[in-house]
Amino acid sequence: MTVLNDRYVFALCTSRIYNPEILESVKAFMKEAKKRGFAVLVFNSGLDRAGSRNDASCFSVCDLIPFRIVDMVFVMAETIQNQIVSESIVQRAREHHIPVMSYDGRMDGVPSVYSYSNLAFDDLLEHILTVHQCRKVNLMSGIRGNYGSECMTNSYREALRRHGIPYEENRVGYGDYWEDPAAEVCERFLLHDTPDAIVCINDSMAIAVCAVLNRHGLRVPEDVIVTGSDGIVKERFHTPRLTTCVKDYKRLTTVTFDTAELMLDGEEVDLNIDVKPILRISESCGCYMTEQRDPNEAIRLLSRKLDIAVNQESEEHWILGSMLERKQLTVIDYLDVISAHIPEDSYLCLRDCISAEISSNSLRQFADPSELMSTVMHRRKEKQFAMIPRAQLIPDLDKILASGRTVFINVIHMMNEVYGYYAYYGFAIEDECFKLPKFIHTAGNVIGSNLANSRLQAMNERLVAARIRDSLTGMYNLHGALKTLAERLRGEHPAHSHLVLIVIGLNRLRQINSIFGRNEGDQALLSLASAITDSVDSDVVSARIGGDEFLIAFFTTPQQGDTAEALISVLQKRLVSYNQVSGKSYSLEISVGQVCAPIESGISVDSMLNEAITLKDAQRLGQPDSADAKPAMSDAEIAQMERILNENLLTYHFQPIVSAKNGQIYAYEALMRTSGGFRISPLTLLSYATDTGRLYEIEWLTYNNVLKTVYENQKAFEGKRIFINSIPGHFLSESDFAKLKEAYGSLLPQFVVEFTEQAETEGEELREIQERCISNQMDIAVDDYGTGYSNVTNLLKYSPNYVKIDRSLITNIQEEPKKQHFVTNIIEFAHANGFMALAEGVETAEELRAVIRFGVDLIQGNFTSLPNAAPLDAIPDRISALISKFSVSAAKQIMQKTYMPASDEQVVHLRKLELEHYTDMFVAQEEMEIIGSFGEASGLHIRIRDDSDCRLVLRNVHFNTPQQAPAIILGKNSRVSLEFQGDNRMDVGGILVPESSKLHITGKGNLSIRADDIKAFAIGNDPDFACGEIMIDLAGCLNIISNGNQCIGIGAGIGRGQRISITGTKVFIQMSGKDGVGIGTLDGTSDISLSGCEADFDLRMATSVAIGAHEGKPHILCNTACINVEGSGTSISCIGSETGGADITLRDSTIIAKMLGQRISVIGSGDSTPRIGLRQCMLDLRIEGTQALDIGSFKQDAELTIVDTDFNIAIQSANAVHLGADPSHCIHTGGKDQVVINE
């Protein structure tokens, strides 16, 4: 516990605190907390209604809970009205090992203290029927079919029956809990007759009924009795006061805090604690007035609220006007203006990163607790600014809480952007809560509107720049150059000034693109652009005016000499230097055309430009052909190339492609290298093959060599994809491909054919390669996307499975907003169309963090791993840990997104949901198949509807949820069959089975579950709860690994007689930690049956039981089972319980145990007279400990029946017990006994 200055700190999570009833409940909570000396933080979401598009931003206030100082979390789930949000609060608290309660409302799986009006509804009906002798009693119920409404309707029918009054259907109406529908129902009542009484199940409907009766001239209660049922604040100002049920807040909060103190002391408490409301008899039934009221009080309060509303409206206009007066707004500007209207006992805290440059996605929810917040408060009419880490919440928080004040936290947002929060810790709580919605709305809209305007302005500026700038080089484009020259020509110039235009062309760009790829062509253009800009002064206009053409333009005079020739000379020298050091297989060479004309002659820039281009083209035509222009190869070099191709001296290195979620290797890319002692670069070899027409040979050798390597190392490549580069325009012929298929056909589904976007790959050739890939279950990847002539049309035309984002876009992406925007668009487009996005060329940790944050699926680059001749089993641990860390951080920024399958949807593919960023799937169908890929992890949680009877087929699914939570959660009162096919994994959590539900696990596949947590379970329920019935008859293997303080393999913490049955399944359970049970429960009674199965246990725990319970009396039946237990620890039990007895029957079963510890028990219980029967079994036991028992109890009071059972037992112990039984209740006949003690 983190007690603050001898005070417990409680966090209360609620919503809509401006609602009078909710505020009254919160105030009662605060009052009792103050009385007991507890500190309180209230986190209010401010959401008007559940299911709005602002849910995520509103509820991000719960991300602010400072778990470092909080000792307990209370959730007002019924005010939050969002089950997923409430459950996420509970989950996060449990992750920090902080207890949770539900206050003033019921929540499943959490100790709940609540007070529902239906608990006193019977008393109210009895009062009307007995005291007032009413016979014609009408009921105004809530929503038809609603559980609460129908419960009250049933209570009404039962009350009538007890008093001998017949039930009449037309005396029951449904007013939907609201005034207008209730008024319509009341009108229908009066058309039938005038009842003696109208009983309403809430006060709002009762008030509406009184108004309708008044319009009809009927008096309450003289003519018709009217009652309510929930005691709302509004009723206090109604005439007449209603007879109703009101919450006993004093008792509600007393019980809540008594329960909380028990939980903090480590005591067990009931999950559901109901506090009966008070039946308040008043005027509307004709009994008596509840209390004297000042009739002017309601007017005074209403007037005050009206004044506040008018003042807030004026403040909003003032804030908007003040913002308009400021330019280039910063966080300090927002704080300065908005804080003018906050009281002294408050803080306004805004994210320090707020600016137009920050994307909307970066402002969703709160993720990083170290994020800086800028704050402001008033102190003696002066504004005091400060900067704090968000984890601190507000300055001087500890002192404020220690003073006994409650701090109210409210998030400031607009739509899905979160800007900060407002904290109030004063005493004018009612006024501040009334002001809150308007203030939050104003602050959020002011910031959001200004950001939106700034972003729009920046976008317009970028659009304007895009019209005059070249996107690749950042230089002027043709339009920008002509516009700039026109403006300068209109300016003043010295006498005899001339305009000089120099057009520069990059020679052989087309050949560079063809041989080395468009990415290399772009790099050549960028290198030339850089050389040009480095060679000219700032007043010179430089531009890229076409694909391979650049322009230099400037004004000169005769006195300045031949500036153009000097400039060209400087540029040529720079290019010579570049070619000498670049290491490229090609050189940058240019053609130049220049023209010069006096300004006075009325020159035409267009004409001059055309003339310069003509001169440039003429110079290019005068140069040697492109093939001859390449550096000549020596005879020795040509001989090397020929030998490499003729003798197939090509080998391949494999670079891992890893998951962006956890760093696990997903695939390898085969990269060409040369062998035989030659060190020839792939680009040089491809260039030679292009010149000599031998590219097809490289295509064939690549496929053949890589397939052969994979075939010879199938185990190393098992379960991994292999990306293989293919050369557009030189795809393998059908006959050659058929040869490869005949030799390596079974491997083809592992392969991904990778090629760059090329104009040559289209039409019939594209169709053929697509059909080839589809028919052989091969995937397609588009390489180097984002360079050259990349466009959406081409991408859709290729229909790839993977899009590889070019390294030029990834380099320094963390520093370049333009790249970030472009890459984000590529990823979102890929996901929207079902492609996986792969970032290649990741070279630094910063680039890694950025691409994971933007949502890539796969990562490739030297930072994760260099290419290797032999495929790596895994990348370095520190890199995979870094990826997991970045992935978790990115996942926290993702909003909850639930997939709701259509009613007729029978098959769901996890990959599609993953690409669309769904976090949950809600299943309501009776039957559904969920298909995954074993090598592709999904972060999805599957939730099954309450009261379901459904069958799910799971095929090759792999769940790896970003939070410690079950992968599959069964609804309450559900009967669910999970059929597993293929190989299936759950890496973070398993399957939750509520106590009221039944689970059947079947199928021919395998299932592996890992559950690591403080309190962990694989199949069943949490160590603090009971689970429902579990039946397993999986034909494959069930593998469970669990680590934690308390671990459960199959079962739950509490045993209430639930049945656990395993038939014909091979079970492996490996556990380590403090306390655990493999199959069964920690405490209580359960019915465990193992038949025709094998169960292997590896237990490394302080206290553990393989099959049974720690404390309790389990009923265990093993029939034709083989059980193998290896374990060590303080106290270990194989079959039975540590204390409490057991009822154990073993038939035709084999028990093998090798156990080492202080207190060892193989079959039986430490005490309580266990009953044990063994028939035709075989026991092979090796046990060593301070105390060791093979069969029976340490008290030697067991009831034993052993028939035809063979013993091979060796015990090493100072306190060894063999057959610990009451001699009068021990039957032992037949079988072979080989028992050795301390030998």
d(CA 1014, CA 454): 47
Cis amide bond preceding 166, omega within 30: no
Position 292 scores a pLDDT of: 54
Structure confidence at residue 396 as a pLDDT band (50, 70, 90): confident
| More reliable by pLDDT, 680 or 484 | 484
418 vs 891, higher pLDDT: 418
**Alpha helix stretches (DSSP H) within 1092-1199:** none
Mean pLDDT of 933-938: 75
φ and ψ at residue 567, rounded to 5 degrees: -65, -45
**Residue that wins the pLDDT comparison between 1002 and 821:** 1002
**Is the same domain home to 598 and 667?**
no
The candidate with the shortest Cα–Cα distance to 590, out of 545, 620, 566, 553, is: 620
Helix, coil or strand: residue 873: coil
Quote the pLDDT of residue 316.
Answer: 67
Residue 67's SS3 state is coil
The string of pLDDT tens digits covering residues 70-92 is 999 999 988 887 777 888 888 88
Could you tell me if 1046 and 1156 lie in one domain?
A: yes
**Within a domain: 733:** yes
Boundary (domain end) residue, out of 1010, 1038, 1060: 1010
For tokens 């799937």, name the residue.
921
User: pLDDT band at residue 483, thresholds of 50, 70 and 90?
Assistant: confident
Domain boundary among 977, 1010, 1043: 1010
Contact 1108, 1089 (CB under 8 A): no
Domain shared by 307 and 192, yes or no? no
**Number of folded domains that form the chain:** 7
| Residue 1179 Cα distances to 870, 1097, 1122, angstroms | 47, 16, 10
Per-residue pLDDT at 52: 46
Would residue 704 count as lying in a domain?
yes
Same domain, 858 and 917: no
Beta carbons of 874 and 891 less than 8 angstroms apart: no
Please say whether the beta carbons of 1222 and 1170 come within 8 A.
no
Cα(114)–Cα(110) distance, integer angstroms: 12
291 is a domain residue:
no
Residue 582 has pLDDT above 50, yes or no: yes
Q: Do the Cβ atoms of 772 and 793 come closer than 8 Å?
A: no
For residues 392 and 379, what is the distance between their CA atoms, to the nearest angstrom? 20
Strands 278-280 and 1206-1212: unpaired
Are residue 958 and residue 910 in the same domain, yes or no? yes
Shared domain for 737 and 831, answered yes or no, is yes
Backbone angles phi, psi at 443, to 5 degrees: -60, -45
pLDDT at residue 53 in the model? 46
pLDDT at 470: 83
Task: Report if residue 1186 sits inside a domain.
Answer: yes
Count, residues in the chain:
1239
pLDDT of residue 622: 60
Q: Are residues 860 and 823 in the same domain?
A: yes
Contact (Cβ atoms closer than 8 angstroms) between residue 1086 and residue 1115: yes
Residues 196 and 266 in one domain: no
Residue 293 lies in a domain: no
Distances in Å between the Cα of 305 and the Cα atoms of 16, 170, 430, 470 are 17, 42, 10, 59
Residue 791's pLDDT is what? 54
Q: Residue 651 belongs to a domain with what CATH number?
A: 3.20.20.450
Q: Report whether pLDDT(211) > 80.
A: yes
pLDDT band, residue 320 (cuts 50/70/90): low
Q: What is the pLDDT of the chain when averaged over all its residues?
A: 84
| Residue 827 confidence class, pLDDT cut points 50, 70, 90 | confident
My answer on whether 788 and 874 are in the same domain is yes
Measured CA to CA, the distance from residue 938 to residue 916 in angstroms comes to: 11
- Residue 855: C-alpha distances to residues 361, 371, 783, 820, 827 (Å): 11, 21, 18, 11, 7
Q: What is the CATH number of the domain that holds 355?
A: 3.30.450
Based on the fold, state whether residues 233 and 255 are members of the same structural domain.
no
How confident is the model at residue 911, as a pLDDT?
Answer: 82
CA–CA gap between residue 1021 and residue 1170 (Å, rounded): 27
What are the phi and psi torsion angles at 1069 (to 5°)? Answer: -130, 120
User: To the nearest whole percent, how much of the chain has pLDDT over 90?
Assistant: 35
- The answer for residues whose C-beta is within 8 angstroms of residue 716's C-beta and 6 or more apart is 870, 871, 873
Percent of the chain with pLDDT over 70: 90
> Average pLDDT for residues 163-186, to the nearest whole number?
91
Return all residues near 245 (Cβ < 8 A) that are at least 6 apart. Answer: 117, 120, 121, 123, 124, 228, 229, 230, 231, 277, 278, 279, 280
CATH number (domain holding residue 1103)? 2.160.20
In terms of domains, do 21 and 136 share one?
Answer: no
Binned at pLDDT 50, 70 and 90, residue 1014 comes out as: confident
**What domain range is 949 assigned to?**
894-1010
Window from 45-54, 113-122, 429-438 with minimum mean pLDDT: 45-54
The first and second tokens of residue 448, run together, are 């959001």
Q: Does 1113 score more than 70 pLDDT? A: yes
3-state secondary structure of 807: helix
Strands 858-860 vs 1066-1091: parallel, antiparallel or unpaired: unpaired
- CATH number for the domain spanning 168: value is 3.40.50.2300
pLDDT at 750 over 90: yes
Structural domain contains residue 281: no
Q: What is the pLDDT of residue 623?
A: 55
pLDDT band (50, 70, 90) for residue 326: low
Residues 4, 10 contacting (CB under 8 angstroms):
no
Mean predicted confidence (pLDDT) in 772-792: 77
Element at 259 (helix H, strand E): helix 249-264
Both 219 and 197 in one domain: the answer is: yes
From 1010, 1025, 1045, give the residue that closes a domain.
1010
Nearest to 700 by CA among 659, 660, 675, 672: 672
Determine whether 1220 is exposed, middle or buried from the number of CB atoms within 10 Å of its CB (0-12, 13-18, 19+): buried
In-domain check, residue 962: yes
Residue 765 has pLDDT above 80, yes or no: no
Dist. CA 453–CA 8, nearest whole Å: 46
Taking the C-alpha atoms of residue 746 and residue 748, their distance in angstroms, rounded to an integer, is 6
Structure tokens that stand for 500 in this block: 């000089």
* From 380-394, 945-959, 1143-1157, 1211-1225, the region with the lowest mean pLDDT: 380-394
- Of 194-198, 603-607, 933-937, 957-961, which has the strongest mean pLDDT? 194-198
Mean pLDDT of 1032-1040: 92
* Element housing 578 (H / E): helix 563-581
- 287 assigned to some structural domain: no
Q: Position of tokens 């009983």?
A: 199
